[in-house]
Chain A
Amino acid sequence: MPSVKIPKKSTDTDMTPFVDIGFLILSFFIMATKFKPPEPVPIVTPNSVNSTELPENNAVMISIDKDNKVYFSVFAKKDPAIADEIVRNVALSRNITLSDAEVKNFRNSITGMPVNKLKGYLAYPAAEQSKIKQDGIPVLDSATNELVWWIAASERAFAGQELKYLIKGDGESKYPTFKAVVDALKRNDKLKYNLVTMPEGVPGNSELDNYNREVQRLGTKK
């Protein structure tokens, strides 16, 4: 008889601490989560040991996907009118006038269309743009490097403000595309860029890494 009773008692566990921990973790994740912005163009960036964070404002991003297509997007949450101005300028350089609705559709989009197809692309709202297959901004031929116009337009729109150029390339994309992007920036006299990468640990036990850490240690002491 007693052998029957003991197992019955043990099935009943006190779940309270378990629940406590569960909700603790849950609240941590709720607070720590930044939702991934929807990515119409999937790009797997290479890793690097750099740890500078990505700016969220006053930046334009040039993306290269794995098929070597180039896209352009503007980071200007504070002042979305800047993005409007950029796309208007680019379109105007080719004598295309965009309606207000089309300009608005550009704000949070990632655009990779030759300028002559831009109007057709921006006719769709941002939510539907991801379904459209984009051709990529032509860059490889220096005579038809349209990225030059995009950069010139953003330079004008951001005039007087700090502007960062982010290059987000897929690891599998080929080097010539990246070089063409850099050439487009160079033609606008832009020589400083930020390459978007994923963080990676600094490989240890190399003498130079130790030296690096030593400098850091001395730096924090000061």
Chain B
Amino acid sequence: MASLDTGDGGGGHKKGPGVKKAKKLNTRVDMTPMVDLAFLLITFFIFTATMNNPTTMDLNMPKDTDKKDELTKTKQSGALTLMLGKDNHIFYYEGELLPDGSNFKTASYSQVRDIIIKKKREVEASYVRDPACEAEKQNAGKPISLCKQKDFFVMIKPTDESSYKNAVDILDEMTINKVERYALVKVADTEMDLIKATEASAPKQ
């Protein structure tokens, strides 16, 4: 307390036993400008920094072919068709589109993951052991469990009105849900008609 008193009194006012105080003052450097500068630089670097480096997603397309034996074969029971419409709407059906369009449904991007998972589980549940496939996977060093979804095939059909983001989002869902077989396919005319009809009848929200 005593030392405080002397220091304080001397610093603030005129009465001066000078030497001691002068020394005390010298050791203290005013850091404020330095701090100012440092934080200015920090903010500059934070703003210019590219923290998120872009990443890449692999996409392999099949070769266009007319030969029948080169076409990818899919089982109807394991097929899921997703059509990407405008304004972030998804239309989908399982298996083959019924002539009356009764299995043609609408979904949103938040629901699509559940639809994919549900279909995948269904396919996996009906899996009959296939030793040939399991041996093949084992040779390739991949888990045998992948064979369970060998009949599962997702067809992604973006319409002309869907955005690039829609397509990437769905491709991303394939990665997230570990879907092994999927393809980007052109929308068929009958499907396009159904999409148009649904969009016309559904009131805009």
Q: Interface residues, chain A, CB within 8 Å of chain B?
A: 5, 8-9, 12, 15-16, 18-19, 22-23, 25-26, 29-30, 32-36, 45-55, 64, 166-179, 182, 185-186, 189, 191-200, 202-203, 206-209, 211-212, 215
Q: A5-B4, A32-B49, A175-B166 are in contact. Are A197 and B57 (CB under 8 A)?
A: yes
Q: How far is the CA of A9 from the CA of B9 in the complex (A)?
A: 11
Q: A170-B164, A174-B160 are in contact. Are A8 and B54 (CB under 8 A)?
A: no
Q: What are the 9 closest A-B residue pairs judged by CB atoms, nearest first?
A: A171-B165, A29-B45, A194-B56, A15-B31, A22-B38, A169-B164, A46-B165, A46-B168, A195-B57
Cβ distance A204 to chain B, nearest Cβ, rounded Å: 11
Let me know if B8 and A8 touch, CB within 8 A. Answer: yes
Pairs across A and B, CB under 8 Å, 20 listed: A19-B35, A25-B42, A33-B49, A33-B50, A35-B48, A36-B48, A47-B172, A49-B175, A172-B164, A179-B158, A186-B63, A191-B63, A193-B58, A194-B58, A195-B57, A196-B55, A196-B57, A197-B57, A206-B113, A206-B177
Let me know if B117 and A208 touch, CB within 8 A. Answer: yes
Q: Interface residues, chain B, CB within 8 Å of chain A?
A: 4-5, 8, 12, 28, 31-32, 34-35, 38-39, 41-42, 45-46, 48-64, 84, 113, 117, 120, 143, 158-169, 171-172, 175-178
Q: How far is the CA of A25 from the CA of B44 in the complex (A)?
A: 12
Contacts A48-B175, A175-B167 supplied; 11 other A-B pairs, CB < 8 Å: A18-B31, A22-B35, A32-B51, A36-B48, A54-B55, A174-B161, A175-B160, A175-B164, A186-B61, A206-B176, A207-B117
Chain A residues, Cβ within 8 Å of B45: 26, 29-30, 33
Nearest-CB residue, chain B, relative to A218: B143
Q: How far is the CA of A151 from the CA of B190 in the complex (A)?
A: 35
Let me know if B35 and A18 touch, CB within 8 A. Answer: yes
Q: How far is the CA of A64 from the CA of B165 in the complex (A)?
A: 12
Chain B residues, Cβ within 8 Å of A186: 61, 63-64
Cβ distance B153 to chain A, nearest Cβ, rounded Å: 17
Let me know if B163 and A196 touch, CB within 8 A. Answer: no
Chain A residues, Cβ within 8 Å of B165: 46, 171-172
Q: How far is the CA of A172 from the CA of B167 in the complex (A)?
A: 11
